[in-house]
Amino acid sequence: MSTPDSPILIVPYMWIGDFVRGHTVVELLRARFPSRPIDLLATTMVAPLVDYMPGVRKGIVVDLPRKRLALPQHRALAERLRAEGYRQALVMPRTWKSALAPFLAGIPIRTGFFGEARLGLINDLRPGERRLPRMVDRCAMLALPKGEGAPSQWPLPALKVPTHEIAPWRQRQGLAPDGRQVVALAPGAVGPSKRWPYYAELARQLAAARNHVWVIGGPDERDLAAAIVGAGDSSIRDLTGPDLRNAILALAAADAVVSNDSGLLHVAAALGTPAIGIFGPTSPWHWAPLNPIAAVVETASELTCRPCHKPVCRVGHHRCMRDISVDQVAPIVGRTLATVPARKTS
């Protein structure tokens, strides 16, 4: 039996964007159980997000192997979970492995969809997963009482970066404010089909208009960043690297963001930084952030293959991204920057 102050564990998806969506689940649980601590299971990669999520007590950080069962690691995680005294776990992913440690830990209520034949591992089974087309709907429904319908509007994810963290970060990076506005570019994405190919030209135009340009992303975006930085002058900086906290702080400090359909678009939107999302093979209705963004950019070309939601262009022409020109994107960035309060540039 749960008590009014017994903690709850959320097992979210570990992709950056999906992890940000998990804050909607936190908000729903806080409204239902205001005195119960809420923790998030997290990988090392996404763990920095936890520090900026209001309402989350802490993250339980673990990096489990993705392609094998690794039962000893799951048992070790179960021991950590048992020591926390969780009385309920909400398991977002559909996989059998994602429910294993909560089961081994003896958490009394384990909420989730049936998924990969998880009868027993999940004992608070929820129906109707296939009737929920969006990821956010599937995750958020697990936070509601069983049988309750979805509200007209889900709570929005909200990441809060304390202002006192920004100035020291800028100093460490050698990015002292000089009155010019900053545009962060996030050229990466899972799969090449979601990557807009003209970031270098956009960066040149933004720098020529006396803006600073910061290229952000993980280690996999190093080559993309090098090509963008090499196309311009010292106003364009490569801030890619393995620590997601660096990207979070860059997005919080920037005046605007241009991003593919990627996790960093969700981070920017949840921070409240004006974000321009470029969508090619994916549907914005399905995958755009729940938070409002400054603009959604899509090709005007009539393409019968779109949306395909594939990581690699299956027809080989990649027109859903190649047909979006810099001349289409740059004016949107300019209009967005014109709306940014002066305090952002100080």
Which one has a higher pLDDT value, 130 or 170? 170
What pLDDT, on a 0 to 100 scale, did the predictor assign at position 119?
A: 87
What pLDDT, on a 0 to 100 scale, did the predictor assign at position 232?
A: 81
pLDDT 10s digits, 188-216: 999 899 999 999 999 999 999 999 999 99
Q: Which residues contact 14 (CB under 8 A, 6 or more apart)?
A: 42, 43, 45, 46
Does the pLDDT of residue 103 top 50, yes or no?
Answer: yes
Looking at 101-105, 169-173, 203-207, 302-306, which range is the least confident one?
Answer: 302-306
Which one has a higher pLDDT value, 344 or 242? 242
At 1, the pLDDT band (50, 70, 90 cuts) reads low
Does the pLDDT of residue 2 top 70, yes or no?
Answer: no
Q: What distance in Å separates the CA atoms of residue 311 and residue 280, rounded to the nearest whole number?
A: 11
What pLDDT, on a 0 to 100 scale, did the predictor assign at position 240?
A: 97
pTM for the model stands at: 0.95
Does the pLDDT of residue 171 top 50, yes or no?
Answer: yes
At 231, the pLDDT band (50, 70, 90 cuts) reads confident
Q: Which whole number is the average pLDDT over 326-336?
A: 98
Helices (H), 164-302: 166-173, 199-208, 222-229, 244-253, 263-271, 284-287
**Angle between helix 326-338 and helix 199-208 axes, rounded to 10 deg:** 40
The residues that bridge with 59 in the sheet, in sequence order, are 40
- Which residue, among 163, 124, 154, has the nearest Cα to 26 in the 3D structure? 154
What pLDDT, on a 0 to 100 scale, did the predictor assign at position 342?
A: 56
Does the pLDDT of residue 313 top 70, yes or no?
Answer: yes
